[in-house]
Amino acid sequence: MANPNVRKNNKSFFIKVYNFFSGYLLAIILLSLLLVLTYFGTMAQVEMGLYEASEKYFESLFLIQYIGPVPIILPGVYLVSALLFLNLFLGGLVRAKKNWRRPGMVIAHFGIIYILFAGFVAFHYTREGNMVLYEGDRSDEIYNLTDWSIEISKYNDEGEPTITYVVGPDDLDGLWKRGTKRTFYNSKIPFEIRVSGYARNITNGKGELLGLLKAKAAQEKGIRVVEGFGVVPVDTHKSMEFNLPAAYFDIFDKSGKKLKEGLILGSGPFAPKPFTIELNDSTWSIDLTREKFALPFGIELTKFQKEDHPGTARAREYSSDVIKIENGEVAGDRIISMNQPMRDQGYTLYQASWGPEGAKPGDPLYTSLAVSYNPADQWPKYGTYVISIGMTIHFVQRLMSYLRRSARSRKKVNKENKGSNNREGINEVYEKI
């Protein structure tokens, strides 16, 4: 027979855990941590840059923060937000008294939880990139500014890629560690590719390729030389979009025989053709490029307009006249400007910048469109509406309750004053008698 005291102690333990995770104490701790982490993360952007600071403080479960020489382990904003979601759900919805005559606070808590959930969806499912177009150009791809991938493509007789295999950023993660090599293969590719010596950046802030050494300089440092050059890592930029990676690669057939070696540098939308190899009467290319995503529609730039500040070469405003292409046919025209993005099928296209820098009057210009896919793009706005409705209901009910209490108090005071006046009148009559 089970001991009732043991069951009671177990029940008491779980109640204590539940009360903690749904209580005010945890909410205060979590909100205080959010304040501290936001401060540290904001200050770290000066030294680390936006992307690395965001990755360390806002996208992690735990992190190490140095206070002087002392290392302190702190939870990341991601973990704190998840616990805050749990705390609000248990304390604001489950544990809270359900008095439907006063639903305002329940509605407001639901709105806050909805915004936190929107942040979770945005973090895991948002895709961002850029599209660069000259007038007359058409594209249905966007480039990620910070993540790189290796594309292995097969070409037909007309020189057009027929199929492309991608080694994504997750597969390249950690390859920059010294001495790390990684081999990639696919049953449909007649060779294997081994990537080594991956450098996340080989350029300085001025665009000079300091990490690309000529053969003699590389040999003096004991660095591998391929195609007359060697690669040495350079410190990454605070703005990750300015990093230019490079890597060695070796190609082996299925038996393990080495066929070729090469050196690939990061390329962009206007970069020259990638490294190619002829194998079994087929042409294959290997390219280190920014990660690409396909859009469900195409965009063609018909006209780019730029207006400068009077007497200067600084742009005051600029916009792009584009045509939407869907299933190979024109599906409408749009204007994308600095304050007027284009929204379609969950994608938002913003007017980000233009180029090339230093273009002279009459030179062709390109437009740079920032593209974002965020399923929860409008959810925070809806959550704010829900919070506003809940708080409005709550304050109106509190106001009405206050007014009713005030009316009762005044009525009671008037009644007491009236009774007091009657007694004084009676006393006055008795005195006259």
Identify the helix (H) or strand (E) that includes residue 260.
strand 258-267
Q: What is the pLDDT of residue 188?
A: 87
Cβ within 8 Å of residue 95, ≥6 positions away: 22
First to last CA, the chain: 89
290 exposure class (CB count in 10 Å sphere: 0-12, 13-18, 19+): buried
Cα atoms in the Cβ-side hemisphere of radius 13 Å centred on 176: 16
User: Tokens for 349?
Assistant: 């296209």
| Cα separation, 214 vs 226, whole angstroms | 10
Q: What is the pLDDT of residue 272?
A: 58
Distances (CA, A) of 419 to 34, 411, 423: 59, 12, 6
Q: Closest by alpha carbon to 74, among 88, 61, 55, 84?
A: 61
Query: What are the extents of the domains in the chain?
Result: 4-96, 128-135+294-379, 148-291
Runs of H (alpha helix) within 133-252:
169-172, 215-220
Q: What is the pLDDT of residue 313?
A: 67
- DSSP-assigned beta bridge partners for residue 185: none
Cβ within 8 Å of residue 432, ≥6 positions away: none
Q: Closest by alpha carbon to 86, among 15, 10, 17, 36?
A: 17
pTM of the model: 0.71
**Cis amide prior to 310 (ω within 30 degrees):** no
The pLDDT profile of the chain, 433 residues, written as one tens digit per residue, is 556 555 556 668 888 899 999 999 999 999 999 999 999 999 998 888 777 888 899 999 999 999 888 999 999 999 999 999 999 999 888 887 767 677 888 899 999 999 999 999 999 998 889 999 999 999 999 998 889 999 999 998 887 888 889 999 999 988 988 889 999 999 889 999 999 999 999 988 777 888 999 999 999 999 999 989 999 999 888 778 888 999 999 999 988 899 999 999 987 655 556 888 888 888 999 999 999 889 999 999 999 988 877 877 677 888 999 999 998 888 889 999 988 999 988 899 999 888 887 777 788 889 999 999 998 988 999 999 999 999 999 999 889 988 988 888 888 777 766 665 555 555 554 555 5
Q: What is the pLDDT of residue 350?
A: 93
Question: Contact, 284 vs 155, CB < 8 A?
Answer: yes
